Chain A
Amino acid sequence: MDLLLNQILAGISTGAIYACMALAVVMIYQAIDHLNFAQGEMAMFSTFISWQLMQWGLPYWVAFAITLVLSFIGGIVIERLLFKPLAKAPILTNVAGFIALFAILNSSAGLIWDFTIKEYPTPFGSSPFLGSQLISTHQAGMIGVTVLLLIALYVFFRYTRIGLAMRAAASVPESARLVGINTSWMIALGWGMAAAIGSIAGMLIAPVVFLEPNMMVSILLYGFAAAVLGGLTSPFGAVIGGFLVGIIENLAGTYIPGVGNELKLPIALALIITVLVIKPAGLFGRPVVKRV
């Protein structure tokens, strides 16, 4: 029983990482209706920028704020330069564009900051949290930030005019345009916000997994899985999905015999697919009714 509890706690703390990433994934999905495969690399790049700022002697929170702003601008610039011209192209062409962006960011980060693993500071400290050995203050802080972010996003989308406009532009672009919403800029804004959230995720994750150009590849997979499990239309679902994926992954590794580290991912994915087969829109997603 003790083992079970401990494994669940450990799962929650890794789940916080996935929840952060899943939140960023859902954000951009809301804004542009595609899964962005380059999301993880964008977050990785932002994290490297903050690391560089700190290397130049800036304190943590200043670097954090500057990175947030830079990522927001960077997200908008990427959308305007690379993806606005592809707006009318087929969806699959857009996906190819994401893969291209992935390759570009990964390879240039490797060239600028090379592939050695770097330590990354945490603002929360890393002593055990409330006497528990499995969850550190950093991980607790990470969970706290994720929850705060979720509340902020909820308020933004639910109670502000611009949040409403973004939702409208994403779900029914034609009608949104008719009531005077600039849908094209709403998409750009969505990219900016997703990049900023991604940079927060990256900066929170980096102390745990260490900083290197490939740090996000596997985390993004879990983030996608979490977002899909929770339902791509629901930021709340994404966070819950993140924690669930963390727990499933840990329990599968402990209780299913013959599962090493290598088989954890396939098993977690298989479980998620089983859930999806039963509930195709994800746990908290809204089913979309189709008509001819």
Chain B
Amino acid sequence: MSAVQEVVTEAPVIEAVPKRAMTLGAGTSLVMLALLILVPFFVKNFIIFQLTMLLVYGLAVLALNILTGGSGQFSLGQSAFYAVGAYTSAILIENAGMNYALTLPVAGFICFLFGFLFGLPALRLSGVYLALATFALATAMPQILKLGYLEAWTGGVQGLVVTKPDPPDIVQGVLAWFHLKMSQDMWFYYFTLAITVAIYVLSLNLLRSRSGRAFMAIRDNEIAASAMGVDVALYKTLAFGVSAAITGIAGGLGAIAVQFVAPDGYTITLAISLFLGMVVGGVGWLPGSIVGSAFIIFVPNIAEGISKGLSGAVFGVILFIVIFLVPHGARQVAMVAQHLLGRLKKR
């Protein structure tokens, strides 16, 4: 309201996360991995399916984390990338008869292009303006998928049914020696787990690399980064592309796991959930993605269990309690735990 131009020292939107704090120790990681491998042997098929979705959403939250926690760009449009990935896989499997495993790289590649191109106009926007732009993408996507012109491929409002893959014969053959049989759910869980672990390791390495340092420099101070020779435009769009590619792969996996794609499954609600997952897991802390994913999968169910009519309110209250106790998400818990362990070791 004043005529004077406002000059501000730009405070980074996302607080700086030191590189080391972005990972778990090797020991903790291995324990987590062992847990994820062993749990399916002891639970029912439905829970295995939920665990698969836990990994799928974990991947999607991880992708948002690279974009927001890594390069400092905010996005409410992740559901659109997720939808593109899901539809790419579904169409290739059902209409082109492609092998499900081969559709995932295609989904990732298409989403990478899509994200990279979307990142170009987004370059001029930041903060709330970028949030609005990505938000527009998320609201437009379900409508675009419903369009009449595309109905031959997308199935319109009805969506597409996707067949769930059987475990390969080799696996069944080996298991048959021990008189065991693997269910479709269990096979797909391990398939998803392998991809998740691979992408997690790649992401960690990406953030440790030259590109990762460029992302973080942009996040912490864009002007300073460009003064030091970081190609801001390239790395910002690249961050969008990488994030979209990972989200797309998650979308493809999700479509196969749910065995169904429909426009109304990929609304803005999904994008908001992924955002909440990132906050609860800790912005910029990649291992937190799985915690955030667990929050957005299980807490709504718990809220519904407590009260059917007030499930939204219960969810809101739980969310408030979580952010009051740990405003920095699961990362804060992990850091406190690490600190305590460190003190124990010294004694």
Whether, in the assembled complex, A66 has its beta carbon less than 8 Å from a beta carbon of chain B, the answer is no
The minimal Cβ–Cβ distance linking A80 to chain B, given in whole angstroms, is: 14
Main secondary structure on chain B at its contact with chain A? helix
Q: How many residues of A contact B (CB 8 A)?
A: 53
Q: Interface stretch among A68-76, A193-201, A220-228, A248-256?
A: A220-228
Convert B115-153 into 0s and 1s, putting 1 for each residue whose CB lies closer than 8 angstroms to a CB of A: 000000100111011011101100110011010000000
Question: Considering only CB atoms, which chain A residue lies closest to B134 in the complex?
Answer: A273
- Known contacts A269-B139, A287-B5, A276 near B312 by CB under 8 Å: no
Whether, in the assembled complex, B323 has its beta carbon less than 8 Å from a beta carbon of chain A, the answer is yes
Contact across chains for B68 and A92 when beta carbons are under 8 A apart: yes
Question: Considering only CB atoms, which chain B residue lies closest to A104 in the complex?
Answer: B316
- Known contacts A289-B6, A292-B223, A90 near B315 by CB under 8 Å: no
Convert A250-292 into 0s and 1s, putting 1 for each residue whose CB lies closer than 8 angstroms to a CB of B: 0000000000001101100110110011001000001111111
The minimal Cβ–Cβ distance linking B321 to chain A, given in whole angstroms, is: 9
Q: Interface stretch among A51-59, A93-101, A117-125, A144-152?
A: A93-101
Whether, in the assembled complex, B176 has its beta carbon less than 8 Å from a beta carbon of chain A, the answer is no
Contact across chains for A273 and B121 when beta carbons are under 8 A apart: yes
A276 vs B130: C-alpha distance when bound (angstroms): 10
By CB atoms of chain A within 10 A, which of B9, B125, B143, B316 has the most?
B316
- Residues of chain A contacted by B223 (CB below 8 angstroms): 290-292
- Known contacts A107-B312, A108-B310, A292-B223, A225 near B132 by CB under 8 Å: yes
- Residues of chain B contacted by A273 (CB below 8 angstroms): 121, 125, 132-133, 136
Residues on A facing B (Cβ under 8 Å)? 35, 82, 85-86, 88-93, 95-97, 99-104, 106-108, 110-111, 157-158, 167, 171, 221, 224-225, 228, 232-234, 262-263, 265-266, 269-270, 272-273, 276-277, 280, 286-292
**12 new A-B contacts at CB < 8 Å, known A96-B323, A167-B1, A269-B135:** A89-B327, A92-B278, A92-B283, A100-B317, A101-B316, A103-B316, A107-B311, A221-B139, A270-B136, A276-B124, A290-B7, A291-B8
